[in-house]
Amino acid sequence: MTIQFNDETFRGDYSFKNSDWAIQRFPFPFHEDSYMYSVNMEQHRGGPKGSIYEKRFDVDEHYLAEMRDRAMVLDDDPLRCQSLPHMTLAGWDLLELIMVSKSEDYPDLFELHRNGDQWRWINKPMGIDDSFTFLDAATLPYGPMEYITRQAQGDFAVLDQRDDNLWMDAGMITTQADWSLDFDIGMNFFEWHAPVPLAHEKGIFVRALKFLLNIQQGAPARRLNWTMTVNPLLDTSPENYHKWGVQKTEITPENIGSKQHLRVELQTFFRLPRSNALVFPIRCYLCNFQDLMSMPKWGRRLHRVIRDLPEELATYKGFIDNRPMMLDYLEKFDDGLPTSPGIWPEFETEPPLQK
């Protein structure tokens, strides 16, 4: 199908919205009625047709608006995209991975023509047609990582692998859930995860790192993570927290359905061939409460998850103060009926709300 790209904003008037298609394929992150951190990783080998798992790099109706937002963030703060000097080769690996994947998975939108090291890349939605020499940075308007991630939705952390650890040595981070690339760059897996509560004690990061170190080329993996964001704001950075933090207090019982968004990250992991680095794309999907409630299963489940979430997690994710108001809203969509297992909405088979 051809995608209709939305003309929308993630700031100011916040005109972002999800079509019915986007709501149906939203990656609801809860496969059961409760949530706790776990080593929730699986192979990234496609998924149901039309789902966000189907392609290696999902492209959706928000593509152009997200790329415009990224360009604005970078104009304001170039430190959101950084690459330590030894990471340039990994940047080329990433450029190749994205160009090859997108041109194969979306041939109507992207084309890659290769003749030895002479490459031509056509990005139709963004109106880009560039010819360059692979591995020669002087032939591109930006470094390779920056060039390609200005054309790909989601954040990208590029990890160097050495000393049995992963090091965050490069990244394009403009849609982050409140962490700073500029501060974390150069840290290892345990250091950048240091602020996360409970998970270290449960041994989750030790096991997760072991899994990641063994990821092979051509066998990517994935997981979902989630948090809450008021307004469809992509740039919830610590850098700008003194500007956006106050929006969290602008939630009222009247506007919570449209303003409060569940923010879900589809995180994938790919081994890169030349550099042996690991790339960690973090793709952010936003959906407001009222759109989520159009799926009876999600309504029932979200209420139960938020109600029973440990206080440490609600605090870390930054919504502890708003939780009571969220529950007042969500409770109306929970009639106590059981829910089917799995993340998919099962709209056809799940009983309608009995309230």
Residue 309 has a CB neighbour count (10 Å cut-off) of: 18
For the question of residue 301 being annotated catalytic, the response is no
Binds 182: which of ligand HEM, another protein, none (CB < 5-8 Å by kind): another protein
With respect to ligand HEM, which residue has the nearer C-beta, 119 or 192?
A: 192
200 binds another protein (CB under 8 A): yes
Tell me the two tokens of residue 6: 């939305």
337 binds another protein (CB under 8 A): no
H/E segment holding residue 91: helix 88-105
109 binds another protein (CB under 8 A): no
CA distances from 28 to 31, 36, 334 (A): 8, 15, 16
Q: Comparing C-alpha atoms, which of 328, 157, 313 is closest to residue 227?
A: 313
187 binds another protein (CB under 8 A): yes
Binds 284: which of another protein, ligand HEM, none (CB < 5-8 Å by kind): none
159 binds ligand HEM (CB under 6 A): yes
61 binds another protein (CB under 8 A): no
213 binds another protein (CB under 8 A): no
Residue 330 has a CB neighbour count (10 Å cut-off) of: 25
Candidates 90, 148, 212, 326: give the one binding ligand HEM (CB under 6 A). Answer: 212
* Residue 224: CB minimum distance to ligand HEM, A: 10
Across the beta sheet with 118-123, what order do the strands follow? Answer: 110-115, 118-123, 128-133
DSSP 301-324: HHHHHHHHS-HHHHHHTT-TTTHH
Candidates 192, 269, 298, 333: give the one binding another protein (CB under 8 A). Answer: 192
CA distances from 194 to 179, 200, 232, 315 (A): 12, 8, 27, 15
Phi, then psi, of 284 in degrees rounded to 5: -95, 130
Amino acid at 175: T
Binds 212: which of ligand HEM, another protein, none (CB < 5-8 Å by kind): ligand HEM
Q: Which residues does 209 contact at the CB level (< 8 Å), separation at least 6?
A: 165, 166, 189, 190
> Cβ(81)–Cβ(173) under 8 Å?
yes
- Interaction residues for another protein, span 154-183 (CB under 8 A): 180, 182-183
Q: Which residues does 68 contact at the CB level (< 8 Å), separation at least 6?
A: none
Binds 49: which of ligand HEM, another protein, none (CB < 5-8 Å by kind): none
- Interaction residues for ligand HEM, span 251-280 (CB under 6 A): 280
Binding region for ligand HEM (CB under 6 A) out of 177-185, 291-299, 301-309, 345-353:
177-185
Q: Rule CB under 8 A: which residues touch another protein?
A: 79, 180, 182-187, 190-195, 200, 238-246, 248-249, 321
Q: Which residues are catalytic?
A: 223
Q: Rule CB under 6 A: which residues touch ligand HEM?
A: 37, 39, 41, 157, 159, 166, 168, 177, 179, 184, 192-193, 195-196, 199, 204, 208, 212, 223, 225, 227, 280, 316-317
